[in-house]
Amino acid sequence: MLTRKQHQLLTYIDNHLNTDGVPPSYDEMKDALGLKSKSGIHRLITGLEERGFIRRLPHKARALEVLKKPQNMIDDPPAKGGFEPRIVDASFGVTDPAPASVSAPAAAAEEMVGLPFYGKIAAGTPIEALRDSSRTFEVPPGMLGRGDHYALEVEGDSMIEAGILDGDTVLIQRTDTADNGEIVVALVEGHEATLKRLRRKGASIALEPANARHETRIFGPDQVRVQGRLVGLVRQY
């Protein structure tokens, strides 16, 4: 699996090859990804090569060949209403309040960002009650967009058909609004927090699981409050 920066670089290289017939230079790649030095590009290229997505051609200057594309490449988006999780195979994760050295080979080209880690998302516990500023979860900044974010550990199998497994850590952008079909953290009737796909139909709100063994729950508009939307996922091995 690839980090967002690796996805961006692979997409840029592929598009450049398709339009210009030659790979971009390291300076062009650096500028396209907004990195400060070419050393970050070298690490990203090495990561893509090790994972079999590109090949460096010998005896040729800046010669790269794209061997395969990931399914959730930027120029090949998932179907409308779907979620294609950006999964990072990582050795980084929850840190204690005391400073610690963090090993993050999957994100070597990026400095890490510490998000508030609120523990497990489970029915009966609102997000407000989970807030604990003493714990953080470190992720590559390329996985995050604008705004505030937090991390939660998934408990249960209600979203497995969306690629979200028990024990995964989901990255949530804090918001009180979401588009129809997005996966959100929803607070039900003021006391139950759950991770589900949001569907609106008329005045009703449906919280839809991604597991055929679980039932969709229907609520009135005043019974559900969005507390964030899913933007990324980290799976540790």
Q: How far apart are CA 6 and CA 73, in angstroms?
A: 10
Which 3 state secondary structure label does DSSP give 120?
strand
69 in catalytic set: no
Q: Judging by beta carbons within 10 Å of its beta carbon (0-12, 13-18, 19+), is residue 163 exposed, middle or buried? A: middle
Catalytic residue (one of 5, 120, 158, 201): 158
Alpha helix positions (H), 55-133:
127-130
- Tokens 């799976």 found at: 235
Q: Which position among 25, 196, 201, 204 bears the catalytic label?
A: 196
The helix (H) or strand (E) run that includes residue 12 is: helix 4-20
Alpha carbon 133 to chain centroid, angstroms: 22
Q: Is residue 25 annotated as a catalytic residue, yes or no? A: no
Active site residues: 158, 196
